[in-house]
Amino acid sequence: MKKIIKSFLKFLMIPHLYFGLKKYIRVIIELNFNVHLVFSKIAFSIRNIFQFNIHRVPFFISKELNSNSVVIDCGANVGAIMKPLLKYEPSIYCFEPNPVAFKQLSENLGTAPNLHLINKAVGIETKTAKLYLHKEAEQNELLFSVSSSLLSSKPNVDNSNFYEVEVLNFLDFLKSLGKNIQILKVDIEGAEVELINALLDAGLDKKIQYIFVETHENTIPDLVESTLQLKKRTFQMNVNNIYYNWA
């Protein structure tokens, strides 16, 4: 009889043990998640202080995204930056003018109601322009598509090898959305100085929470002075949401 009672008591303890362990595991997971968030914020701050390069959207920023968020990628190439953000289901707009890169972008990201892939360049006016290809593009056009540029002065492009592409007035596009934007990434191979200056002129930077920009003054000498002036302007205007250390 004692053995039966003892076995019965052990049986009663199993649910308590299960739910106790489950609660403990949940606490560990939540603690780990919070620690990850904290370290992500610290790492982001350090990178900005010392101007270390940022290669992807920081974890703590991506975790803020939801179905009401808007994310824009100017110069999306094949979609490597946006793909990890799809799971949060924000509205994502990807601009990529290179047709070869755009085809791969479409394959990589697929289709979704909240995903908008746009085979155009961005600029400060609507027009048609030449998109110059890398000098080695004939060897592997997809690989070298990251260097495509609207600037003929970019040292590594071939001025005789280009696509005629549509350029969208990005300021009008932002206004037409009528929404605040969580993330804007700008990597447009030298055309970023003109675009960001126009954003500042129009005050549209105030509608965007995080603006990540890759500048190209290190590879395009003609941009050294204008990039320096842009960064100086940003500082003088006390604009704190533009980060120029994307790479």
- What letter represents residue 92's amino acid? I
Cα–Cα distance, 243 to 177 (Å, whole number): 23
Residue-level pLDDT at 31: 46
**Per-residue tokens: 65:** 């995204």
Residue-level pLDDT at 62: 94
Contacts of residues 54-61 at CB distance under 8 Å and 24 or more positions apart, as own/partner, are: 54/212, 54/243, 54/245, 54/246, 54/247, 55/246, 55/247, 56/81, 56/84, 57/81, 57/84, 57/85, 57/183, 57/185, 57/212, 61/182, 61/183, 61/210
The CA-based angle 159-160-164, given to 5 degrees, is: 85
Residue-level pLDDT at 2: 53
Name every residue whose Cβ is closer than 8 Å to that of residue 230 and which is 6 or more positions away in sequence. Answer: 193, 196, 197, 215
Can you give the pLDDT of all 247 residues of the chain as single tens digits? Answer: 555 545 544 544 555 444 444 444 454 444 455 676 777 878 787 877 877 788 889 999 999 999 999 999 999 999 999 999 999 999 999 999 999 999 999 999 999 999 999 999 999 999 999 999 999 999 999 999 999 999 999 999 999 999 999 999 999 999 999 999 999 999 999 999 999 999 999 999 999 999 999 999 999 999 999 999 999 999 999 999 999 999 8
Residue-level pLDDT at 6: 52
Taking the model in full, what pTM does it have?
0.85
Cβ count near 217 (within 10 Å): 18
Q: Which helix (H) or strand (E) holds 195?
A: helix 192-202
CATH hierarchy code of domain 54-243: 3.40.50
Domain ranges in the chain are 1-52, 54-243
Termini Cα distance of the chain: 73
